[in-house]
Amino acid sequence: MYALLYDDHSLDETYKKVILVDGTREESEKVLEQRQKGMDEF
């Protein structure tokens, strides 16, 4: 199982927000690529 985590680089905050959980690494990497492309538009 693979998880996509949101990391805001806050060292005071030890808990991280889980954005997505996938069954395979390939699925997780595909979603991550799509998410990064969407963020590049801003």
Which amino acid makes up residue 42?
F
Q: Are 21 and 3 in contact (CB under 8 A)?
A: yes
The pLDDT of residue 41: 60
**At 10, is the pLDDT very low, low, confident or very high (cuts 50, 70, 90)?**
confident
Average pLDDT score over residue span 12-35:
84
Domain extent listing, the chain: 2-40
Query: What average pLDDT does the segment 12-34 reach?
Result: 84
C-beta of residue 2 within 8 angstroms of C-beta of residue 21: yes
State CA 25 to chain mean position distance.
12
Mean pLDDT, residues 15-25 taken together: 84
% of the chain surpassing 90 pLDDT = 0
**Tokens 């997780």, residue?**
28
